[in-house]
């Protein structure tokens, strides 16, 4: 999908990013990645924290590109826009959107819907994405790195 289509469909708005804003988002990612290692957390809680880091990293990409996802459908719009920012993120976007639906189930419908393996798999993916996202920003928008 193109930015023009996302704009026309009210999925995003154009908005210039700032390094301070991106640094604030980075601090949220760092907090989530630290908190997810706390002892005694359920798989649901670890999955939710890893998901929050994934969504925030995805937002970091979208904001660096100069767009903001619309609030209605914000998480979905974030992943859609991340794929638009760079088609190389398409597989991650689809994976994170699937995680969004699982996070919704364990957060709103029932407890215990996520296994330790699910939580660890997402966390491993997010840790690598954190490295990749920063490299992507540095390569394309060095003033925001």
Tens of pLDDT, residue by residue over 68-114, are 999 777 888 999 999 999 999 999 999 998 898 888 777 666 778 89
Q: Are 59 and 132 in contact (CB under 8 A)?
A: no
Contact partners, residue 137, CB within 8 Å, separation at least 6: 22, 60, 61, 64, 144, 145
Write down the mean pLDDT value for the chain.
93
Q: How far apart are CA 136 and CA 73, in angstroms?
A: 25
Check residue 88 and report its DSSP letter: G
Q: Is the pLDDT of residue 66 over 70?
A: yes
């Amino acid at each position: 999908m193109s930015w023009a289509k996302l704009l026309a469909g009210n999925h995003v708005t154009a908005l210039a990013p700032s390094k301070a804003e991106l640094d604030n988002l980075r601090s949220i990612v760092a907090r989530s990645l630290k908190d997810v290692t706390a002892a005694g957390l359920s798989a649901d809680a670890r999955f939710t924290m890893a998901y929050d880091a994934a969504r925030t990293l995805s937002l970091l990409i979208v904001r660096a590109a100069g767009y903001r996802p619309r609030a209605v459908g914000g998480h979905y719009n974030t992943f859609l826009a991340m794929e638009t920012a760079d088609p190389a993120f398409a597989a991650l976007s689809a994976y994170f959107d699937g995680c969004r639906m699982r996070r919704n189930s364990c957060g709103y419908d029932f407890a215990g819907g996520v296994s330790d393996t699910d939580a660890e798999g997402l966390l491993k993916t997010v840790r690598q994405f954190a490295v990749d996202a920063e490299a992507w920003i540095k390569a394309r928008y060095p003033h925001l790195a």
